[in-house]
Structure 1
Amino acid sequence: MSVQNFLLKQYLRRHYKPRLNAHLTLEEARHELDSVVERFLPLASIGVNIEHSNVAGVECEFLTAPHRTPKGVLLYLHGGMFSMASPQSHRGATQVLAKRLKLQVVTPRYRLAPEHAFPAALDDVIAVYEALQHDIEPGTPFYVAGDQAGACLGFQLVQRQLADGGLGPDALIGISGLYDLTLSGPSMESNAEADCFATRLAFERAMDFYLGPEDERDRRAVSPLFGELHGLPPVLLQVSDSEMLLDDSRRMAAALEDAGVEVELDIWKDMPSCWHLGAVALPEGREAIDRMARFLKRIKS
């Protein structure tokens, strides 16, 4: 374990996680997340070009490594329990993705709950995806990735595309993904103490924000884990063995295999959920992204 990982975990466990159990208002929770980003996940450019553009009515960040022609496009969907975070909060990951994967990384500022409940975020990412697909040169590699709620949106996006007869991406990558919106995975309880970041209360409140009270919507029906998985492109799932969402990835990997989808499950030891966000300063974050690069290279060969 790197020193950086140790310090990050100690801070999250001692200062951030207890605050998630303190019945914060949404604005307070958003501020807490911003404080973690400011303290541990540097936003300063590390040698990438960052531009902003409106795509299908959605503001997006475009990140590219300078002096290089991108070898494809990666649509990256940030996490934040559907109600927090932004493209800026995830630059600690997206800048490294642009450099190490040699791709143009596009991160939409999709609408957040509860101000904009389901399906607003999904509608936004579908609109961006379809516009990007329309504009890229035929044959250009096009991938979709996301962390936590963003991984959920990525799967929902691809499932919707395939159900509507649209074109799916060349690969799908999920980081610490939230695939079961009923929150029924065994590790939601067994890893509740080991997880240095999340809490049951935070997940339950996020589902209320995003989907409304449980009796108003069937949460199983909108969970990627229980949706149609046949026909999905190759999938890489990365997750920590100590996080509450571990079994979301385990069960998704098993379900994908049963559906005949090529899937690689990459379980890391004792990492914070979505540790890739610290990739600018966290060695394990950069190594995880390098594994993504090897996965994409392998599926292309």
Structure 2
Amino acid sequence: MCLSERHDGTEPCEPAHHPGTVHCRPRAARPTRRRHPRSTCRCRPRARVPRPRHRVRRLADASGRTPGEAGTLLYVHGGGFSDRQPEAERALARHLSRATNRPVLGVDYRLAPQHPYPAAVHDVAAAHRVLLDQGVPAEHIVHFGESAGATLVLSALLTLKAAGEPLPGAAVLVSPLADLTLSSPSLTDNRGRDTVTRQGLEQACAQSPLHGDLSDLPALLIATGGAEALADDARRLAAAARVAGTVAELDLYEDLPHVFHLALLAGPTAATDTFLRRLAEWTERNAA
């Protein structure tokens, strides 16, 4: 269950868990001295603060170079914020690494509902900091996310920007869920043409980065299928980013469904070839 939710692109505060006030036992009076027992003291309650995870896994490397030398693509998987498929992630990462000629590292972020928002956003931001700590120049890092992973990428960018930290050179968002108000017309217009449904999205717990401050973000490549329920989320996100002064390009793949690029796992198609070519060009132009 979502503890709190805001639609302004900022992270909401999560109420701390208080296990209760701890009462200390009074000391008994010593037999050799006459002292009054100390009064019962009340210790401050301890707040349980969730810590971000820093686990970053190398998924593929077709470059033969270190992340510091070649740059890095930081991959954030989809799965509705609650699921993952490690084998599919590794298979896709090999295609992404060959296309960009750089190592692909994956973020093992915490999953809902066991770890509600904003745990996963903190984990993605922490993974970016790990790359910086390892000496990878920020301008040579590309964030890549699909579906829920694209939402987390955009939310992490807003978090890093608000903290004044170095941002990656570019970001690629495939089939992003950008507006948790679920007000995009394509949710209704493309009903029956996509596996994503309004009912399924109503269970999601995340922020709506579309309504955040999209200025001063890295260059955004936004890709979406024309038949998917979230097509208008991508259109609106690209338009809002441009209005805010951020470089944003929208690639619309006609008649294709949500996360169309995963067709790569079954074999290349004309659409996936175009997608990989665009990914390579975008990475070289903005994060080389």
User: Do they superpose with TM above 0.5?
Assistant: yes
Q: 1:172 to 1:153 in 2, by over 3 A?
A: same
Match of 1:201 in 2: 199
Q: More displaced, 142-151 or 64-73?
A: 64-73
* 1:154-188 CA distance string (max 9 Å, x none): 01111111111111100011001111112111111
Identify the residue that residue 277 of structure 2 maps to in structure 1: 290
Larger Rg: 2
Q: Which residue of 1 aligns with 2:14?
A: none
Instruction: Tell me, in whole angstroms, the C-alpha distance in 1 between the residues paired with 2:127 and 2:56.
Output: 9
- Structure 2 match to 1:10: none
How far does the alpha carbon of each residue in 1:108-150 deviate from its partner, in whole angstroms, 9 at most, with x for none?
1211111111111111111111111121344761110100110
Contact 2:96/2:276 (<8 A) preserved: yes
Q: CA deviation at 1:66?
A: 6.1
Higher helix residue share: 1
Q: CA deviation at 1:78?
A: 0.6
Distance in structure 2 (CA, Å) of the matches to 1:127 and 1:249: 26
Q: Match of 2:254? A: 269
* Unaligned ranges ≥5, structure 1: 1-54, 212-221
Distance 2:137 2:210 in 1: 31
Separation (CA, whole Å) in 1 of partners of 2:54 and 2:139: 23
CA distance in 2, matches of 1:72, 1:270: 34
Correspondence 1:253 to 2:238: yes
Q: Which residue of 1 aligns with 2:143?
A: 144
Gap change, CA 1:60 and 1:201, over 3 Å in 2: same
What pairs with 1:167-246 in structure 2 (closer than 5 Å)? Answer: 167-195=166-194, 197-205=195-203, 207=204, 210=205, 222-246=207-231
State the one-letter code of the partner of 1:79: G
Deviation at 1:93, TM superposition (A): 2.1
User: Cα distance 1:125–1:137, how it changes in 2: closer, same or farther (>3 A)?
Assistant: closer
Task: Name the SS of the counterpart of 1:279 in structure 2.
Answer: helix
1:187–1:230 CA distance, 2 compared to 1 (3 A) = same
Checking the alignment, whether the CA contact within 8 Å between 2:56 and 2:105 is kept in structure 1 is: no
% identity of equivalent residues: 36
AA of the residue aligned to 1:62: L
Partner of 2:3: none
Query: Aligned-pair distance for 1:89?
Result: 3.0
Query: Offset at 1:83?
Result: 0.9
Q: Which residue of 1 aligns with 2:115?
A: 116
Whether the 8 Å CA contact 1:92–1:277 is kept in 2: the answer is no
Structure 1 contact 76–106 (Cα < 8 Å) conserved: yes
- In structure 2, distance between residues paired with 1:253 and 1:116: 29
Equivalent residue number for residue 65 of structure 1: 62
Number of residue-to-residue matches in the alignment: 233
Contact 1:60 1:109 in 2 (8 A): yes
Q: Structure 1-normalised TM-score?
A: 0.72
Amino acid of the structure 2 residue aligned with 1:256: A
- Within 5 Å, which residues of 2 pair with 1:100-115? 100-115=99-114
Secondary structure in 2 matching 1:264? strand
TM-score, normalising length: structure 2: 0.75
Q: Which runs of no fewer than 5 residues in structure 2 stay unpaired?
A: 1-51
Q: Deviations over 1:2-55 (max 9, x none)?
A: xxxxxxxxxxxxxxxxxxxxxxxxxxxxxxxxxxxxxxxxxxxxxxxxxxxxx9
Root mean square deviation, CA, Å: 2.0
State the match for 2:134 in structure 1. 135
Q: Residues of 2 paired with 1:123 and 1:107: CA distance?
A: 15
**Letter in structure 2 aligned against 1:244:** A
